[in-house]
Amino acid sequence: MDIDAQRLTRRYGALAALDGLTLEVERVKVLALIGPSGGGKSTLLRVLGGLEGADEGEVSINGTVLTAEERQLLAWRRRNGFLFQQFNLFPHLTARRNITLPLEKVHGRTAAEAERVADESLERFGLTAHGHKLPAQLSGGQQQRVGLARAIASGPEILILDEPTSALDPEMTAEVLELIGELAAGGQDIILSTHEMGFARAVAGHVAFIAAGKVAEHGPSGELFAAPKEEMTRRFLSKVMRFA
């Protein structure tokens, strides 16, 4: 996975969530975004995933240049999978239908194809017995596993995860992180934001520390965690790793 983001700016009124952010990485399988809340991680994920266009700057991923043109962003979104802090499942649809519906309506699969892929995905994530249930009948960890199954059902080029465990208790967090780790080990390209530093250190090949809408520092995960170069990175890691 190659990412070339140059001088990205994304404003919401007077707030610059991204403020001239630049990030260049090459041949990375898993990129983790870390840093303080409100620093711009989620906004960067949305821009990289094509969910939003940047107000200024340029970005290309794997040779695809992303523009602010909605048709181009839609085409890029269809190539990727997404999982966010909230589960974002359709509450009136079963777990199985939450997977089949996007496959049919967004990716053009036939109903039979969508059902086959959904059943394979549910089995892969240990959810076969829960496919008929509505989200309200599932635990938080099960809902997030359904969301993950839906995100990868289409065979995404990149899996984009925004704090995928923030709404889960410790046991469910470990369960979901293990599944994400298995996907990474299987070769899935992943960009994620996370406050789980041990997970980022173990699974990510590259880590970017983001604060105040900029990349303050980035590098191979082992190097950044072992010897951060910037003072703000050192202060952040000294706090969050204290009890890790």
Instruction: Pick out the chain residues at pLDDT < 50.
Output: none
What is the third-level CATH fold of 1-80+158-163+185-193+207-244? Rossmann fold (3.40.50)
Q: How much of the chain exceeds pLDDT 70, in percent?
A: 99
When computed from its CA atoms, the radius of gyration of the chain, rounded to whole angstroms, is 18
Beta carbons within 8 Å of 60's beta carbon, 6+ residues apart: 2, 3, 4, 66
Quickly count: other Cβ atoms within 10 Å of residue 11's Cβ.
Answer: 15
Asked if 193 and 41 touch (Cβ cutoff 8 Å), the reply is yes
Q: How wide is the angle at C-alpha 224 spanned by C-alphas 222 and 230, nearest 5°?
A: 165
Rounded alpha-carbon distances, angstroms, from residue 153 to 47, 72, 111, 137, 201: 22, 22, 14, 22, 27
| pTM for this predicted structure | 0.90
| Tens of pLDDT, residues 18-42 | 999 999 999 999 999 999 999 999 9
How far apart are the C-alpha atoms of 195 and 92, rounded to whole Å? 31
**Domain residue extents for the chain:** 1-80+158-163+185-193+207-244
Long-range contacts of 173-179 (CB under 8 A, 24+ apart): 175/141, 175/145, 176/141, 176/144, 176/145, 176/148, 179/125, 179/145, 179/148
Residue 60 and residue 106: Cα distance in Å, rounded? Answer: 23
What pLDDT does 167 receive? 72
